[in-house]
Structure 1
Amino acid sequence: MTDVPQSFELLPGAGDSPVILHVPHSAREIPAEVRAGILLDDAELERELDHITDAHTAAIAEAAASAAPVTPWRFVNRLSRLVVDPERFPDEREEMLAVGMGAVYTRTTHKEALRADGFDPEPLIERYFRPYARAMTEAVADRLAATGRAVIIDVHSYPSTPLPYELHGDGPRPAVCLGTDSFHTPPPLLHAAREAFAACGETGLDSPFAGTYVPLEFYGKRSEVTALMVEIRRDAYMTEPGGPAGPGLTGLASALAALVDAVSR
């Protein structure tokens, strides 16, 4: 593959901040050589991006970072998750392989073919997935070295109505879903999140999406690395699918800033 601009960006925060706001799914950009391997026509691809992109989550994280008394670090994916999904396992451990949505997607949100049968994901894994994972690992290691801990807050969104690809779409769909990990999400972090988002509507736990993102080097090994996934229901802040942000974005950004402040202290 030809060289392309950096596919992710680490935006520095305060030197004494342990917090990394991770924004993996906010972008729509797809390099031309990657687009060539996607079976959808232009209109179909735009519709798929409307459904699969966590629109405006980078803006929520940016506004929260600006408002927080101690500026958090931000790690932002600048390419669409249709290139690679940096939060998936790149092997058979990934349960989303069942619907064609491992580290490299082969099916759409509506279970239609996205890439041809027999598509080799390895070039995309090598070009995009592994450098992203290394950089995120280094960012967490840097916060550990600087502050003695790292707090990863994953910023996502999800549609108000389940999409066909969802494996657990029949459960509650609160305004804010908090995804947790039994090892990396301690009770004080969860409590701080519930308090911060209380004014944004109902908060729920691990439904419709569960878990957190922690680089594998630290996963299940370093309790100083804590993590929480914040999944915001899209009708709380934008026009679905893929439309503009609305006034709800400001309140959600303020709530995220309050969470950052609580866990920074």
Structure 2
Amino acid sequence: MGPVVVSVPHAGRIYPPEILAAARVEQSQLERLEDGWCDLLAAGATGAGAVVVEALWARAVADLNRGEGQMAPGEVAMSLRAQFSAPGRKERAGLGVVPTRLFDCGPLWKRPIDSAALHWRLESFHRPYHDALTEVLVEARDRFGHAILIDLHSMPSIPAGQPGHGARIVVGDRFGGSAGAWLIDMVVASAGRLGEVVTRNQPYSGGHIIRTHGQPADAIHAVQIEIDRSLYLSVERLPDTARIGRLARWFADLVGDLGQARPGNEIFPQAAE
């Protein structure tokens, strides 16, 4: 084990029977919420010295990259509406801690999310994931003097007119709030060696996971990496073995390099030519 922890929160592919029974759409539509096959990109991370915390349950069950208070009042039962009084843009779009809508198929569930459904999802899936991240990050920090969290995601191609259009990899640190500059500089430089367009914080600066767990003042640094799915999936959204292998090797090398970084002394491994 080294100081690097990898989080893969949206690649789960398990749908409990209760979820499918509650859905008003087909499983194939719920699967659109997934960061399809993103876990395969982290396949070499453990061998490179990282601890990998990976969700097995689908994002439709609970979105681990949203906070417990991130829901729109109109998406929950009447008894819960008072506690979700200030929704943001994503929550209003149905992408809260429980995803409730997709833009072209309407509501995902037969009934609004009630207290029992919310409690079950938080207690069974959301809280255990974050407890696991906290545990391994604190253990790494206490052992090595610092910890590094890489929160790994995939994204659709960024459309024209949106900030970051043309980028194939987006590295987010919440505009410097979740990590030291040394870390994001290393990650951006490493991603750039893939020959793809890389942006920082545009259009994704990082979500609940790095906001919650990235505490640079406490020597826990966190960045989010978004990778365009077209870099590793076929047009049928199936894994492309060769392209996944290329990205998995890059990611393992990144983990290995970060494991050697010494932020306190500003001593870092030399970049490969």
> Which of these residues, 5, 11, 17, is aligned with residue 26 of structure 1?
11
Q: Does 1:106 align with 2:97?
A: no
Q: Partners in 2 of 1:256 and 1:221 — Cα distance?
A: 22
RMSD: 2.3
Structure with max Cα Rg: 2
**Which range moved further: 149-158 or 179-188?**
179-188
Per the alignment, residue 60 of structure 2 pairs with 82
Any unmatched runs of 5+ in structure 2? Answer: 70-83, 261-273
Per the alignment, residue 4 of structure 1 pairs with none
1:84/1:105 contact within 8 Å kept: yes
Q: Partners in 1 of 2:158 and 2:236 — Cα distance?
A: 10
In the alignment of these two chains, the number of paired residues is: 237
Identify the structure with the greater helix proportion: 2
Q: Does 1:138 align with 2:138?
A: no
1:67-110 CA-partner distances (Å, limit 9, x unpaired): x3xx1110000111000011101114763211111111111253
What TM-score, normalized by structure 1, do the two folds share? 0.81
Per the alignment, residue 28 of structure 2 pairs with 46
Q: Does 1:55 align with 2:50?
A: no
Q: 1:173 to 1:99 in 2, by over 3 A?
A: farther
Q: Partners in 1 of 2:128 and 2:211 — Cα distance?
A: 12
Q: 1:241 to 1:150 in 2, by over 3 A?
A: farther
4+ long deviations beyond 3 Å: 168-171, 218-223
Aligned-pair identity in percent equals: 24
1:173/1:233 contact within 8 Å kept: no
Any unmatched runs of 5+ in structure 1? Answer: 1-13, 163-167
Per the alignment, residue 119 of structure 2 pairs with 122
Q: Partners in 2 of 1:47 and 1:241 — Cα distance?
A: 14
Per the alignment, residue 186 of structure 1 pairs with 180
2:94/2:100 contact within 8 Å kept: yes
